[in-house]
Amino acid sequence: MIETERLFLRRWRPSDFIPFQKLNADPAVMQYFVKPLTPVESDAVIARCEDHFEKNGYALRPHILYRMRQDEFVATLKF
């Protein structure tokens, strides 16, 4: 986990699935992607991320960015 005074970056948790699904279903958020994702497609992204991390010890796919004080989902990040 990477942490600053206001934000932290961490791996996926089960509680991240619904906020991630909502983010990926929003046409405004996804305007530069091929299409918005269904909940099943969003869950598959998380599964691929976690599978890659477990096999390789790192993830090329998104991690979760949270606000410290609100424990609020902010975004996903790719490295």
Number of structural domains, the chain? 1
Which domain range does residue 63 map to?
Answer: 2-77
- What is the CA 58 to chain-centroid distance, rounded? 15
Q: Pick from 74, 78, 77: which is nearest to 19 by CA?
A: 74
Per-residue pLDDT of the chain (79 residues; tens, 9 = 90+): 677 777 777 788 888 899 889 989 999 989 998 999 999 999 998 898 888 888 988 776 666 665 656 666 666 655 4
CATH number at residue 68: 3.40.630.30
CB 8 within 8 A of CB 1: yes
What does the block give as tokens for 16?
């991240």
How far apart are alpha carbons 21 and 3 in whole angstroms?
24
How far apart are alpha carbons 69 and 71 in whole angstroms?
6
pLDDT in tens, 15-32: 889 988 998 999 998 999
pTM of the model: 0.76
